[in-house]
Amino acid sequence: MQQTILEINHLSKSFGSHEVLRDIDFTVCPGDVTSIIGASGSGKSTLLRCINLLETPTAGEILFHGKNILAHGVKATDYRAKVGMVFQSFNLFNNMTVLENCVVGQVKVLKKSRGEAKENAMAFLDQVGMTPYVNARPRQLSGGQKQRVAIARALAMEPEILLFDEPTSALDPEMVGEVLSVMRTLAGNGMTMLVVTHEMAFARDVSNHVVFMADGVICEQGDPGELFSNPKQQRTQEFLSRFMAN
Amino acid sequence: MDKLTQLGHDIAKLWGTYHASYLNGILSTLILAVVATAIGCIIGFACGVLQTIPHSKKDNVVKRFFLAVIRVIIRAYVEIFRGTPMVLQAVFVYYGLPYFTSLRFTNVWVAAIVVVSINTGAYMAESVRGGIISIDPGQTEGAKAIGMSHVQTMLYVIIPQALRNILPQIGNNLIINIKDTSVMFIISFTELFAAHRAAVGATYLYFPSATIEMAAYLTMTLVASFILRRMERRMDGSDNYELVQTDMLTATAGTYNYPGKGTPFDERNPEHENTLRQAQWDRNNDKRGER
């Protein structure tokens, strides 16, 4: 059997008495591009935030290389350094320049030297086409540019898996393209990615595994070609037909 | 008009005799206000950071107990020092210490700085807490997501931004301190107001001396607020930024093209002189009119 990088077992999350996630199970292998799709409010983002421990799951386990990170004595900071995250609202550090945004984590968390971190950051900024803007501040950039910098910042930590939380939902159609093309390139380079998205074309064409969520449970998951052309569950059919109609 | 001349005369007289004492007072007031505000800010930031340490029910009992105790202590500190007059705090600290222990402040400077710092810290603690919670939670999440600890997140991401937001508050505190250090006369600290008391004690020129004091305090506070405004603008940084060009072809596109070597337009060509002279001659003997 292939070695998994991430394994989610019976994960549940409640806010008070409100159950947002129920008994979530899926696995991610190295090099996988997994898309999580579903209507707003179905728990997709919460799931991703649980995986990065920004929310604490109420029950279940998250195995990272076979080790449960929810167990006592596991340092969340060490784990998070290996799992990159790209947010819907970019969350770039407003008090730093573009370059500084990509350097600070490497220097403070990975304890790299400043020179090495800068060189590294420049390489990743080049990959997302943002080298001319290294001296700009986040407030001076457009949404698409911010998101590309955010991707470079996450990549600069050289994570083993990259989580995307609706990376294009806050962007206009033109900017969506530039971000998606960066993500396509990443996927092509073999990056392990877990993407919460409403971009059905991306989910269908780029990912090799699709998870459809509804009301806090995984309704259906599988190969994108199979799931998109021949959905088995009625909920999936309804959701996809509404999306494809648009 | 007579009265104004009289006032001018009295001020000149006071200044002539006591200018050293006034100037000394100004210096002491400034040093005390600036140092105490700085220390107060540090206390405020420490309290603000400690108060905002995230705590959840999942943490172990020791940590939760420890954090709860810290929060109670900070709460009590803020409420007590914000809720009592600084004059009395000075008396309490300065005379209370030798009352209970064999210790006492041998240096009135130390006593004054301690009292004003602690007082400022209490106000700053709340300002800092407000500054920290005003920062978008996304900033914290972004920092957490790249593996930063709480302290790192605070130091490199949140506090620099909070500092910018509460700079007007810090300015407020500095200006309040410049004025309110005058109550330190109660522990016989000789600042600007003490100079006034000394001068009027000998001359009974209450109003002229007060005029000098007013002008001195107003000057100090105006300068302080001017400097703080400049600092705010400095921290905001420029609205412009330089695009970094990696491609030299685009960097030079559309700029001046140097004439080829050896052509009559090349400045290094000896014939260039003649070209210029010819052009000059042509201009002076414009023949267009004849045509």
Cα A178 → chain centroid = 17
B143, B148, B242 member nearest A135 (Cβ): B242
Q: Do B206 and B253 have their domain in common?
A: no
Q: Do B263 and B284 have their domain in common?
A: yes
B110 domain-assigned: yes
Nearest residue in chain A measured CA to CA from B156: A104
B263 domain-assigned: yes
- A183 close to A202: Cβ distance less than 8 angstroms: yes
Residue B282's domain comprises: 248-290
Q: Does A157 touch chain B (CB under 8 A)?
A: yes
Can you give the pLDDT at residue B48? 87
Contact A108 B152 (CB under 8 A): yes
B241 domain-assigned: no
Residues of A in contact with B250 (CB under 8 A): none
Separation of alpha carbons B98 and B233, rounded Å? 47
B243 domain-assigned: no
Count the Cβ atoms, other than its own, within 10 Å of residue B53: 14
B33 domain-assigned: yes
Phi, psi of A161 (to 5 degrees): -145, 145
**C-alpha count within 13 angstroms, C-beta hemisphere, residue B32:** 31
Q: Do B254 and B211 have their domain in common?
A: no
Can you give the pLDDT at residue B280? 73
B291 — pLDDT class (breaks 50, 70, 90): very low
Separation of alpha carbons B275 and A128, rounded Å? 52
Q: Cα distance from B239 to chain A (closest Cα, Å)?
A: 8
Q: Do B179 and B254 have their domain in common?
A: no
Give the CA distances from residue A176 to residues A101, A204, A242, B114, in Å, rounded to whole numbers and listed in that order. 22, 16, 21, 57
Residue-wise pLDDT tens digits, B258-270: 556 666 666 666 6
In angstroms, what is the C-alpha Rg of chain A? 18
Q: Do B16 and B113 have their domain in common?
A: yes
What value does the mean pLDDT take over residues A46-50?
Answer: 93
Q: Does A51 touch chain B (CB under 8 A)?
A: no
A242 — pLDDT class (breaks 50, 70, 90): confident
Q: Cα distance from B176 to chain A (closest Cα, Å)?
A: 29
| DSSP annotation string for A171-222 | S-HHHHHHHHHHHHHHHHTT--EEEE-S-HHHHHHT-SEEEEEETTEEEEEE
B284 domain-assigned: yes
Q: Does A80 touch chain B (CB under 8 A)?
A: yes
Give the CA distances from residue B8 to residues B11, B206, B208, B220, in Å, rounded to whole numbers and listed in that order. 5, 13, 8, 21
Q: Do B155 and B252 have their domain in common?
A: no
Phi, psi of A220 (to 5 degrees): -160, 145
What value does the mean pLDDT take over residues A225-237?
Answer: 90
pTM of the model: 0.78
Residue-wise pLDDT tens digits, A81-119: 999 999 999 999 999 999 999 999 999 999 999 999 999
Can you give the pLDDT at residue A14? 92
Nearest residue in chain A measured CA to CA from B60: A72
Q: What is the CATH number of the domain that holds B223?
A: 1.10.3720.10
Residues of B in contact with A150 (CB under 8 A): 142
Name every residue whose Cβ is closer than 8 Å to that of residue A206 and which is 6 or more positions away in sequence.
Answer: A33, A35, A183, A184, A187
- B116 close to B154: Cβ distance less than 8 angstroms: no
Can you give the pLDDT at residue A170? 85
Q: Do B229 and B257 have their domain in common?
A: no
Interface residues from chain B to A (CB-CB < 8 Å): 56, 58, 136, 138-139, 141-149, 152, 156-157, 160-161, 164, 237, 239, 241-246
Three-class SS of residue A59? strand
B151 — pLDDT class (breaks 50, 70, 90): confident
Q: Cα distance from B251 to chain A (closest Cα, Å)?
A: 12
B109 domain-assigned: yes
Q: Does A75 touch chain B (CB under 8 A)?
A: no
How many contacts (CB atoms, under 8 Å) link A and B? 82
Separation of alpha carbons A214 and B18, rounded Å? 83
Which is nearest to A209 in space by CA: A47, A27, A61? A27
Nearest residue in chain A measured CA to CA from B164: A95
Which is nearest to B58 in space by CA: A47, A120, A72, A177? A72
Nearest residue in chain B measured CA to CA from A94: B161
Give the CA distances from residue B77 to residues A235, B84, B101, B246, in Å, rounded to whole numbers and listed in that order. 58, 11, 22, 56
Separation of alpha carbons A150 and A138, rounded Å? 10
Residues of B in contact with A131 (CB under 8 A): 244, 246
A54, A79, A109 member nearest B141 (Cβ): A54
Residue window 182-211, chain A: list those with CB within 8 Å of chain B.
none
ipTM associated with this complex? 0.89
What's B264's DSSP letter? T
- A46 close to A221: Cβ distance less than 8 angstroms: no
Separation of alpha carbons B73 and B53, rounded Å? 15
Count how many domains chain B has.
2
Q: Do B160 and B61 have their domain in common?
A: yes
B242 domain-assigned: no
Residues of A in contact with B55 (CB under 8 A): none
